[in-house]
Structure 1
Amino acid sequence: MKILITGSNGLLGQKLVQLITREGKHELIATARGENRLPFEKGYIFESLDITKEAEIEAIVKKHQPEVIINTAAMTNVDQCETEREDCWNLNVTAVEYLIKASKKHNAFLLQLSTDFIFDGEDGPYDEEAEANPVSYYGESKLAAEQLILESKIDWSIARTVLVYGIAHDMSRSNIILWVKKSLEEGKEIQVVDDQWRTPTLAEDLAKGCLLIAEKKAKGIFNISGDDLLTPYEMAVKTAEFFKLSQSSMTKTDSTKFKQTAKRPPKTGFILDKAKRELSYKPHTFEEGIKVLADQIK
């Protein structure tokens, strides 16, 4: 099967390229805006692609004729989306319109990545049938992209995920595990929120879930996340325990103490029954996820 990935320089994009090239069963076209930042070049073709430019999408899809397109490219910084709304909409919504058009024209199956932030967090964890009600512009943009796909006449799937964590090459963004580990090792005082709940997702698990969908061309909406419903404080405690670090400089707090541009849903998280049943999806526990990261740090 020929698979094209957008956003291959990002965390999920990198994990997908690693997974697909390691398995060696599919032809892979990795695309990203700008230069290829992956640390290896074998097993795939790289094309520079800005998905906010319709002509570029059409040219690349026409050239390679992929059977499946996996769209991992997005503006995911929730506060940035709130302040840079036009850029957010262009990347998260308009670009999806262009991908739908190209998928229709060249008969490709489109897998779109989405988020728990389409929900208001009043009634989590959620299944695939739950009613969306975003509380941030980021959530609105991702829901608008979902609606475009639902209304399209193409073969499609939507993979919704939650709080993705992992380590990738040449990436500046940290994650809660690395932040807690570094802070506690340095003896820094940290406050961690204990009134929000998520099912944190190991990037490798999300990549595997996406590949399972792609290989089956499984149509519809799938929740692809971790299975453990935790607060950030509980994640921090598990991290400290794993690395055998003192928790004396760590205190729990609530989200009202932090000034953030965008509102966050209090309790999301996903019910994974459908993905387990239809895709045989099996995520790591959060403790297992910490161990995966620990091995990568070494």
Structure 2
Amino acid sequence: MNKILITGSNGLLGQKLVELLLKNAKNQVIATARGENRLPFTDGYEYKSMDITNREQVQDVIDKVKPNVIIHTAAMTNVDQCESEKDTCWQQNVSSVEYLVEACKKNDCFLLHISTDFIFDGKAGPYKEDAEANPISFYGWSKYAAEKAVTNSDIRWGIARTVLVYGIAHDMSRTNIILWVKKSLEDGKNIKVVTDQWRTPTLAEDLAKGCVLIAEKEAEGIFNISGKDFLTPYEMAMMTADYFKLDKSLISKADSTTFSQPAKRPPRTGFDLSKSQQMLDYQPVSFMKGIEVLAGQINSKILEA
């Protein structure tokens, strides 16, 4: 029996992980998040309330559960908010990881930590796993510091780095580029989308799949887990409009200077996936296929309503 504890199970990735892990009867899943369980189903797994910024709570839950593997998805990911609320960001993104490392050491757990392309300055993407980090935002620094807390520890660890995750949460609480473009164009709004940033956008289901591949093998080291298409947000918007047969003339090109955002964004990130493909047999879908997956989920949400 593989006992796997997930942090941040109420979040988008957390939800997808619980669903995916439950498909394998060998997995015993313990979902944790701050406050109440927001997953729409309660069968097949155990839920425990755990605030990752509370060291005693982290110790207590992990001492009791004694998981083989912890998948740490909880984090403060709003890049601009991290810039203005640095203490909260550090607590959620760095201190929490130090507490988990400590608990993993005591209980001999494998820790899978989720990281980001924002640890890079974006001058030379797509990046391989061994590229040099140089964050340009406080969020990026906090995630890089968390990576260091993991890699400098003497526990067994894996790091899954990802890029621009999109998907649909059960309660539709999160938006993403596809939903934003679709809604704006359906409402007849003109939108400006940047042409000078490049990413490899990642379907949440693919990220969950990559995490499970690492967790079940307890594969050690750093792995790039993202989508495979290297695109600008403008290209993503045009593809979304094409798929839903919406009016593309409402979309206009812009560059990053058009938007005043508190935190700097790395211009050109994206990942080289060769290591994950070779070592884990990780095979993500194309962005077009990702749009199709989301469209199917939107339709089933409409049918449920």
Matched, 1:235 2:274: no
> Within 5 Å, which residues of 2 pair with 1:44-83?
44-83=45-84
Q: Deviations over 1:91-125 (max 9, x none)?
A: 10001000000000000000000000000000000
SS of 1:90's equivalent? Answer: helix
Q: C-alpha distance in 2, partners of 1:121/1:50?
A: 32
Aligned residue pairs: how many? 298
Q: Give the TM-score of the pair, scaled to structure 1.
A: 0.99
Q: C-alpha distance in 1, partners of 2:23/2:154?
A: 33
**Mapped contact 2:3–2:68 kept (Cα < 8 A):** yes
Matched, 1:104 2:134: no
Report what 1:37 is aligned to.
38
The aligned amino acid for 2:272 is I
SS of 1:252's equivalent? Answer: strand
Percent of aligned positions that are identical: 66
Report what 1:281 is aligned to.
282
Q: C-alpha distance in 1, partners of 2:205/2:26?
A: 18
SS of 1:248's equivalent? Answer: helix
The aligned amino acid for 1:215 is E
**Mapped contact 1:32–1:50 kept (Cα < 8 A):** yes
Q: State which drifts further: 169-178 or 52-61.
A: 169-178
Matched, 1:210 2:211: yes
Runs of 4+, deviation exceeding 3 Å: none
Q: Deviations over 1:247-295 (max 9, x none)?
A: 1111011010001000000000000000000000000100000000000
Q: Deviations over 1:194-244 (max 9, x none)?
A: 100000000000000000000000000000000000000000010011111
Q: CA deviation at 1:171?
A: 4.5
* Structure 2: gaps (5+ residues): 300-305
* Structure 1: gaps (5+ residues): none
SS of 2:96's equivalent? Answer: helix
The aligned amino acid for 2:138 is Y
**Mapped contact 1:135–1:265 kept (Cα < 8 A):** yes
Report what 1:290 is aligned to.
291
**Mapped contact 1:24–1:43 kept (Cα < 8 A):** no
Q: CA deviation at 1:173?
A: 2.3
The aligned amino acid for 1:97 is E
Q: C-alpha distance in 1, partners of 2:227/2:206?
A: 8
Q: C-alpha distance in 2, partners of 1:153/1:22?
A: 32
**Mapped contact 1:82–1:136 kept (Cα < 8 A):** yes
SS of 2:210's equivalent? Answer: helix
